[in-house]
């Protein structure tokens, strides 16, 4: 049975989840009204497609050829389609107010995983993809009972359209059985690291995996070593802040705290020092260590 989850707590964000046999797809519409905002470097454990509906900005990622790593920056505008794969380090910085529709999917195997490139960009994908995006969103918010079948059909068309855009022959979706607690703990940790910059709570994490908060605590404890939600969230945010300071030594502490999900600068500074041994100001002003061969 298809299930739909909505989150309207943030007026600038709409979240829709579609669960089909063997595949889980999350649709999000995000509006970036603050052009000073930047999503720091991060990775995903899943495939993600971003469609730029409105606005412009910069999308950058780390290209690893096996011999060297270099940062590639792409300028996006309305109609740009960006595809990222698992493990790709990337970030996004809006230059103007932007509206981005993106979707992720997991448990995909076969030719799609092998054929799809780590990243693809196209500025003329609007005609091929946007009608499916809009139709899916419209179907998901309809209260009718037959909506699930309509969404399933639209998902199929969307994936076929993407396969055409990314030169993939077909999509094969395997059936997924129950995952043991240890496997769920790893997935939960990955989710925390993927979404540290959002206003994330233990209840949000539990909803993501459709379990209660107490069960999620037990799942995290089943990891070796045992995990605590708040500690892992703080760790992910502090690690991201370190990367921001390394890339931009003039970045203000307050701005780093905001970009990494800390609502309070004092709490951020106290947490940062507890985890790194130095204050954010000391870390920011420390000389960059040169690599030696």
Tell me what pLDDT residue 271 has: 93
* pLDDT over 50 (residue 12): no
- What is the CA 215 to chain-centroid distance, rounded? 24
Average pLDDT, the chain: 71
Tell me what pLDDT residue 211 has: 83
* Cα separation, 66 vs 212, whole angstroms: 42
- Strands annotated E in the chain: 13-20, 23-32, 39-42, 47-54, 57-64, 69-76, 81-84, 90-94, 98-106, 119-122
Tell me what pLDDT residue 59 has: 87
Residue bearing the bigger pLDDT, 114 or 279: 279
Give the DSSP per-residue string, 83-141.
Answer: EE-TT--EEEEESS-EEEEEEEEES-BTHHHHHS-SEEEESS-HHHHHHHHHHHHHHHT
pLDDT tens digits, residue range 103-161? 776 644 444 443 344 444 454 555 556 666 666 656 555 554 455 566 666 666 666 66
**Pick from 13-17, 135-139, 253-257: least confident:** 13-17
Joined together, the tokens standing for residue 121 give 């960009």
**Pick from 70-79, 180-189, 208-217: least confident:** 180-189
Q: Is 182 helix (H, G, I), strand (E, B) or coil?
A: helix
Residues 6+ apart with CB under 8 A from 160: 171
* pLDDT over 60 (residue 252): yes
Query: Cα angle vertex 108, ends 260, 23, to 5°?
Result: 85
Whether the bond between 225 and the residue before it is cis, its omega within 30 degrees of 0, is yes
Q: What is the mean pLDDT of residues 190-204?
A: 87
Range of 144-158, 187-201, 215-229, 260-274 with top mean pLDDT:
260-274
Tell me what pLDDT residue 268 has: 93
Domains and CATH numbers, the chain: 13-165 (2.60.120.280), 181-285 (1.10.10.60)
In this structure, the chain runs to a length of 293
Q: What is the mean pLDDT of residues 13-36?
A: 62
Provide the pLDDT confidence category of residue 99 given band limits of 50, 70 and 90: confident
The CB-side HSE value for 90 (13 A sphere, CA atoms) comes to 25
Tell me what pLDDT residue 110 has: 41
């Amino acid at each position: 049975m298809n299930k739909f989850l909505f989150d309207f707590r943030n007026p600038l964000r709409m979240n829709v989840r579609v669960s089909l046999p063997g595949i889980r797809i999350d649709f999000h519409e995000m509006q970036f009204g603050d052009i000073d905002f930047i999503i720091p470097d991060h990775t995903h454990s899943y495939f993600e497609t971003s469609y730029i509906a409105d606005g412009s900005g910069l999308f950058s990622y780390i290209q690893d050829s096996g011999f060297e790593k270099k940062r590639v920056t792409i300028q996006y505008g309305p109609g740009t389609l960006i595809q990222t794969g698992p493990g790709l380090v990337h970030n996004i910085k809006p230059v103007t107010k932007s509206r981005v529709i993106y979707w992720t999917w997991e448990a995909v195997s076969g030719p799609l995983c092998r054929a799809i490139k780590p990243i693809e960009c196209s500025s003329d994908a609007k005609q091929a993809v946007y009608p499916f995006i809009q139709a899916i969103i419209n179907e998901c918010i309809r209260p009718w009972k037959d909506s699930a079948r309509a969404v399933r059909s639209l998902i199929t068309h969307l994936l076929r359209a993407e396969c055409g855009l990314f030169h993939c022959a077909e999509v094969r979706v395997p059936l997924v059985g129950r995952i043991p607690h240890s496997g769920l703990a790893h997935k939960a940790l990955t989710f925390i690291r993927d979404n540290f910059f959002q206003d994330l709570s233990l209840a949000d994490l539990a909803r993501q995996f459709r379990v209660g908060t107490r069960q999620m605590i037990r799942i995290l404890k089943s990891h070796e070593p045992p995990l605590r939600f708040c500690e892992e969230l703080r760790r992910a945010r502090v690690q991201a802040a370190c990367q921001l300071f390394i890339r931009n030594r003039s970045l203000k502490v307050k701005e780093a705290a905001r970009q990494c999900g800390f609502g309070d600068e004092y709490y951020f500074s106290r947490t940062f020092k507890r985890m790194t041994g130095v204050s954010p100001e000391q870390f920011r002003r420390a000389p960059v260590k040169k690599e030696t061969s």
